[in-house]
Amino acid sequence: DMDTSQGQGLYPLNRCKTIHLVRHAQGFHNVAGEKDHNAYLSPELFDAQLTPLGWQQVDNLRKHVHASGLSDRIELVVVSPLLRTMQTAVGVFGGEGHANGIDGPPPMVENSGESNRPAISSLKPPPFLANELCREHMIESDDDVLWKADVREADEDLAARGLKFFNWLSTRKEKEIAVVTHSGFLIHSLNEYGNDCHISVKSEICRPFTNCELRSVVIVDRRMIGADSSTIDYPGKIPRGPDAPSDDADGI
């Protein structure tokens, strides 16, 4: 009925993408920020690496994405260009341990960021792409003459950057993409979505992420931002023949 249709959305599959959102694992800035929130403004912790606990979280998420089959479906991993997100992305979605004889440089070298972790192989992982749009609050800009030390990017500016990022995702050819990013980016970006949904669905979309949490969403290109055509739709009428629609005939 009409009430049911108004509570649902129906879209062409080629206009949809599945996005697997991941917040980075625990970093040293999270530990410091738990004690003093002002630590998040510290230049020394801006590019914090993962803690040993964070690496355990990475290992557990990696097991999950392999056990669920998700690792075989992801076509691209987009990652914030900060150390903690790159460590999380490569640790979760990268290949196995790097070995001699494998062509190509490893996506993570041994002991990267003093992590005491082995190198990670470039064998069979999806491609990785760093993107500035999905990084955490910016606290410095060489181009911004109004920038002040220890002042983070405004939440509304971060949200606008998030919308720009999701629009960019819509232009990608890949249909299943993992995004490894930050809590602040996810909170303020996702809060821009779901206003046309039931409040419970809106809450699902906007619920804060824990460290190394993975949550999957679908984005729909309703404004023809991308140029994707369907790869599985079939035109029919091969071979051609009479096919008058049944609702044109009385009683049929």
Whether the pLDDT of residue 103 is over 60: the answer is: no
Whether residue 177 lies inside any domain: the answer is yes
Which residues carry out catalysis?
A: 24, 136
Domain that holds residue 23: 12-248
Handedness of CA 34, 36, 39, 41 (dihedral sign): positive
Residues of the chain with pLDDT > 70, as a percent, come to 79
Of the listed ranges 41-55, 88-102, 192-206, the one predicted with least confidence: 88-102
> What would the mean pLDDT of 67-93 be, rounded to a whole number?
95
Q: What is the pLDDT of residues 17-43, one digit of tens each?
A: 999 999 999 999 999 999 998 888 888
Q: Which of 80, 84, 67 is nearest to 21 (CA)?
A: 80
Task: Output 153-162 pairs: Cβ under 8 A, ≥24 positions apart.
Answer: 155/188, 156/188, 158/184, 158/185, 158/188, 158/189, 159/188, 159/189, 159/191, 159/192, 161/133, 161/185, 161/189, 162/133, 162/134, 162/188, 162/189, 162/190, 162/192
Whether the pLDDT of residue 248 is over 80: the answer is: no
Whether residue 221 lies inside any domain: the answer is yes
Whether the pLDDT of residue 244 is over 50: the answer is: yes
Whether residue 17 lies inside any domain: the answer is yes
Whether residue 32 lies inside any domain: the answer is yes
Highest mean pLDDT among 8-17, 111-120, 162-171, 239-248: 162-171
Q: What is the CATH number of the domain that holds 168?
A: 3.40.50.1240
Separation CA 210–CA 135 (nearest Å): 17
Whether the pLDDT of residue 145 is over 70: the answer is: no
User: How many domains is the chain partitioned into structurally?
Assistant: 1
Separation CA 194–CA 155 (nearest Å): 18
Helices (H), the chain: 2-6, 28-35, 52-67, 70-73, 83-93, 155-171, 183-190, 199-206
Whether residue 4 lies inside any domain: the answer is no
Q: Which of 8, 10, 11, 5 is nearest to 170 (CA)?
A: 11
Whether the pLDDT of residue 133 is over 90: the answer is: yes
Whether residue 195 lies inside any domain: the answer is yes
Whether the pLDDT of residue 173 is over 50: the answer is: yes
Which phi and psi angles does 34 have, rounded to 5°?
-65, -35
Whether residue 2 lies inside any domain: the answer is no
pLDDT value of residue 153 = 84
Whether residue 125 lies inside any domain: the answer is yes
Cβ-in-10-Å burial (0-12, 13-18, 19+) of 84 comes to buried
What's the pTM? 0.84
